[in-house]
Structure 1
Amino acid sequence: MTTQWTVHSEKLVDENRHIRLSTVGITLPDGVSFTQYVVKMPPAAMTLVVNDAREVLLMRRHRFIIDQWVWELPGGYVNTAEDVELAAAREVEEETGWRPRSLEHLVTFQPAIGSVDQPQIIYLARGAEATDTVPDINEAQEIRWIPLDDAVDMIARGEIVGASTVVAVYRALSLL
């Protein structure tokens, strides 16, 4: 018995540099057929920056899709042919005004693997230096160093809801 899904067709719905949306004709191993929406997006690189006081650098921003103010890691799309680690460091500086001292891979995951292909690549930075970069007001309303244990409580209260930040905070607990 075949255990894989069979793809019969794909129809492009929309495409730009940040997203490719299509519908795909699928048949399951038991013979049931249906149409699945598929979203493909460039990888995203985020960084959990932690200082010597075990505080993490978080940004507060409004996410209009869920109409909620949330705290999250700095990060964003990896540009075509851009080194992922360099993209992660670039995003930290652009969005917070801090430059990571060092970066190490923390975890990579797919947050919505049933319909979205977008690797989330998270780095851990141990320490950062303040720069003259003025953070973009469109990226974050507030930037703050928050104790790691408080970040865990913020997840429980629904102040941190983004998958990348939740995964990074919990992963960091096992390492720091």
Structure 2
Amino acid sequence: MGLGQEISEVLGSRLSYQGRKFRFVVEKLRLPKGTQAEFEYIKHPGGALCVPVTNDGKLILVRQYRFSVCDRLLEFPAGTVEPHEDPEATIRREIEEETGYRAHQWQKLGEFSLAPGYSSEMIYAFLAKDLEPLDTPPEQDVDEDIEVVTLSAEELKAAILAGEPVDSKSISSFFLAQDFL
């Protein structure tokens, strides 16, 4: 999955760290133009995200504490794609776990590279509509600190432009969804 237009030849690889969700590797590559170099990067299975839209046009987001930036970020529901899992299956699960809503209408918005300078992570973005609240609110994972937030598209755009802490994958996906809001 992903862009994969020009493939580098891997001449050697060493695992530097295996984490719960990703690997940090060092690889010696022959680049498409023929030169060789060593690169350090995060090998990531990818993430799926959705822009959930209620029947009255509001957006469902989460305000989630992110330890790496020591702040709470406004984000659309998202999750890491599990091995051998389709990104749409990932986000169908994640929207329920993170927001307590189930979506009955799905549309792919696109895919994009999150941070290609140091990570292979691709984000698979979807639009989620015809939302239904679940009977029982989901229990958060032990490592999650999430508050569900409902905003209009105008309120989210104002928050982004005002520099409020909104993560980049949510900003990108918000603009991909503009024609559907």
* Alignment match, 2:140: 136
Query: Structure 2-normalised TM-score?
Result: 0.83
* 1:80-159 alignment, distance < 5 Å: 80-131=83-134, 132-136=136-140, 138-159=143-164
Structure 2 CA distance for aligned equivalents of residues 125 and 158 of structure 1: 26
* 1:27-66 alignment, distance < 5 Å: 34-66=37-69
Structure 2 CA distance for aligned equivalents of residues 173 and 124 of structure 1: 10
Judging changes above 3 Å, is the alpha-carbon distance between structure 1 residues 7 and 89 closer, same or farther for their aligned structure 2 residues?
closer
Structure 1 CA distance for aligned equivalents of residues 56 and 117 of structure 2: 38
Query: Structure 1-normalised TM-score?
Result: 0.85
Q: How many residues align?
A: 173
* Partner-residue secondary structure (3-state), 1:101: strand
Is 1:21 aligned to residue 57 of structure 2? no
| AA matched with 2:18 | E
Indicate which of 165, 172, 176 corresponds to 1:171. 176
Judging changes above 3 Å, is the alpha-carbon distance between structure 1 residues 50 and 140 closer, same or farther for their aligned structure 2 residues?
farther
Asked if structure 1 preserves the Cα contact closer than 8 Å seen for 2:62 and 2:147, the reply is yes
- Tell which deviates more after alignment, 52-61 or 134-143: 134-143
Is 1:73 aligned to residue 67 of structure 2? no
What percent of counterpart residues are identical? Answer: 25
* Partner-residue secondary structure (3-state), 1:117: coil
Structure 1 CA distance for aligned equivalents of residues 131 and 144 of structure 2: 19
Structure 2 CA distance for aligned equivalents of residues 81 and 5 of structure 1: 23
Structure 2 residue runs without a partner (length 5+): 1-5
Judging changes above 3 Å, is the alpha-carbon distance between structure 1 residues 30 and 80 closer, same or farther for their aligned structure 2 residues?
closer
